[in-house]
Amino acid sequence: MNIGSASDKSGLPAKTIRYYEDIGLLKPDRADNGYRDYSMSDVHKLRFLQRSRGLGFSVEECRQLLALYEDKSRASADVKSIAQSKLQEIERKIIELRELQHTLKHLVAHCHGDKRPDCPILESISGTAGSS
Amino acid sequence: MNIGSASDKSGLPAKTIRYYEDIGLLKPDRADNGYRDYSMSDVHKLRFLQRSRGLGFSVEECRQLLALYEDKSRASADVKSIAQSKLQEIERKIIELRELQHTLKHLVAHCHGDKRPDCPILESISGTAGSS
DNA sequence: CTTGACCTTCCAGTTACTGGAAAGATTACC
DNA sequence: GGTAATCTTTCCAGTAACTGGAAGGTCAAG
Residues in chain B within 8 Å Cβ distance of A108: 80, 83-84, 87
Cα B127 to Cα B132: distance, rounded to the nearest angstrom: 10
- Amino acid, single-letter form, for residue A56: G
- Of A23-37, A55-69, B77-91, B102-116, which range is least confident? B102-116
For A42-58, the pLDDT digits (tens) are 999 999 999 999 999 99
User: pLDDT category, B105, cuts 50, 70, 90?
Assistant: confident
Q: Would the Cβ of B34 be found within 7 angstroms of any atom in strand D? A: yes
d(CA B79, CA A108): 8
pLDDT of res. A71: 65
Give the model's pLDDT for residue B106: 80
Interface A–B counts its CB contacts (< 8 A) at 154
* Residues belonging to chain A: 132
pLDDT tens track for A56-109: 999 999 998 888 777 654 545 666 777 888 899 999 999 999 998 988 888 777
Question: Does B97 lie at the interface with A, CB-CB under 8 angstroms?
Answer: yes
Cβ-Cβ contacts under 8 Å, B51 against chain A? 96, 100, 126-127
How high is the pLDDT of residue A76? 56
The Cα–Cα gap between B35 and B23 comes to: 18
How is chain B split among helix, strand and coil, in percent rounded to 5? 65, 5, 35
The per-residue b/e assignment along A115-129, b for 16 or more CB within 10 angstroms, e otherwise, is eeeebebbbbbbbee
Name the residue with the least CA to C1' distance from nucleotide D25. A33
In sequence order, what are the beta bridge partners of B30? Answer: B36
